[in-house]
Structure 1
Amino acid sequence: MVENTFVPIFKLGQKWFERLFPQQGIDLNKDGKNDFMVPRHPVIYYSKNLIAPVVIMTLIQCASAAIFTATEEDLSFGIAIYHCMVTATTVGYGDISLTNNASRMWAFVHIAISVSLLAALISLVGKLRSDRRAALHKLKLLRARLDCELMMSLDLDG
């Protein structure tokens, strides 16, 4: 459920960055519309598609750290950030103990949100990877010259 809440926000961020940094398109059938978008350099591709989810994850961790700092007397913001990151990555060392019920209740919410968000982020990385691989393969096929060797490789029944 939490993941379904964040995925549309991730896509909105991706669309916004696509408008800011549009890809080069190729019009294959000369109808005036791009039929294929040329894949970008991996750093640009992954940065553009992952910046919104990473910013959302960071903001949630900072907000949770602020809540833990407000509910726990002896907890500094830096230690609270550390606790939130360790909890979000499901490592949970157990070296930071929450001492009151308000903190424990927020920890329950924080764990549900953070773990779901991290799962959505990991899923997105996998999807981006497979989408990029498919686009690079298509680009390779579009750029290939038609020769006897290519024709033979495309002939499935010999």
Structure 2
Amino acid sequence: MKSWKITIGQVVSVPLDIKKNTDKALDLMDQCSSDRSSLLVLPELYLSGYEIKDFISSPSGVKAIKKDITTALNLIADKTKESGCDILISYPLFKSKSDKPYIALDYYSKGKSIATHRKINLSNYAQYTEHLTFSEGDQVTVADTPYCKAGMFICEDLWHITNAIFAAKLGA
């Protein structure tokens, strides 16, 4: 396993301002490159924020957010080539017009996504009602990064030991 330096970006995203959030991510990637960091990790749903429920209730809202996310991910992919800094970035992933989006996490390296994880264990207690807005993923994801094979998890996925066991069995 190669040695790597990881930067945790404890930053707050601007709800539904994908452009502003993308610009901040690109700036952080430049900073990580200057600091010789290998990987930037950003918070869950960093690109959009959580406040998408009302926005995605209309086809035009879904179309707009999908377009903005596609543009953002292309810019981020290009920046991984330019900066040499990999990134873990989270966003709502739409797979069809009728389904709720997934909470996704992509690992980008050298200009491309090398793995996409869909959050498996959605929060469903107290004020956390992700199951009302998002679909559950159904498999553990292991990314074959330039440094190692790494399990990819989002928040509550880490609270369930079986996810880590499956990731280890998959080579993480």
TM-score by length of 2: 0.28
Instruction: Indicate the structure with greater strand content.
Output: 2
Instruction: Indicate the structure with greater helix content.
Output: 1
